[in-house]
Amino acid sequence: MAANVAIALLILRLVGGLILAAHGVQKLFGWFGGPGMAKWEQGLQAQGFKPARFWAYLNILGEVGGGLSLIFGFLTPLGAAGGFGAMFMAMGKAHWKNGFFNSKRGIEFTLAVMAIATAVGLAGPGTISLDQLFGILPNTLLFIILALIGVLVDIVGLVMTRTAPSAGTPSSASS
């Protein structure tokens, strides 16, 4: 049973980490058809993130750093929380309004990656990991604290980029 759990956690880490890291290097280097750093930063600026470079690097750190952390099972609570935070922001800013299915850019994809990050963050990296090799104990409480900090930072970003209704546009509350 223990070997099955170790292999299952390894599969979760590798798949989730690869997805996160690949999305991050799209943004950082423009690999795999991604925008690259300059365009990613411009896109965040257009969405109202200020300073856009800070938010771009924070996102890339969550995706690339979190992805590599999951792949190697190293500093796993930090990496899992980074991936969770990056996907929480993506869900809140870009996907939530589109419903569930990924075919319409909905939350399906981000939710799946968040679930992987959460599962690994709560369970730990398993025995086939650098954390295990270096004697770094799994720390569920640390993951929860870091994930909550990530959510708070994301909420700040979401609030600061929220578009206010223009003077000529009636608010939804008056409907």
Q: What is the SS3 assignment for 1?
A: coil
pLDDT, average across residues 26-36: 96
| pLDDT at residue 163, rounded to an integer | 74
- DSSP labels for 9-35? HHHHHHHHHHHHHHHHHHHHH-GGG--
| Confidence at 32, pLDDT banded by 50, 70, 90 | very high
pLDDT, average across residues 142-147: 98
CB 67 within 8 A of CB 24: yes
Dist CA 93 CA 11 (whole Å): 29
Q: Which residues of 109-135 are buried (b: 16+ CB within 10 A; e: fewer)?
A: bbbebbebbbebbebbbbbebebbeee
| Confidence at 138, pLDDT banded by 50, 70, 90 | confident
Q: What are phi and psi of 152, to 5 degrees?
A: -65, -45
**163 vs 160: which has the higher pLDDT:** 160
Q: What are phi and psi of 129, to 5 degrees?
A: -155, 160
> Tokens 């025995």 map to which residue?
127
Give first-to-last CA distance, the chain, whole Å: 57
Q: What percent of the chain has pLDDT over 70?
A: 93
172 pLDDT more than 90? no
**123 vs 163: which has the higher pLDDT:** 123
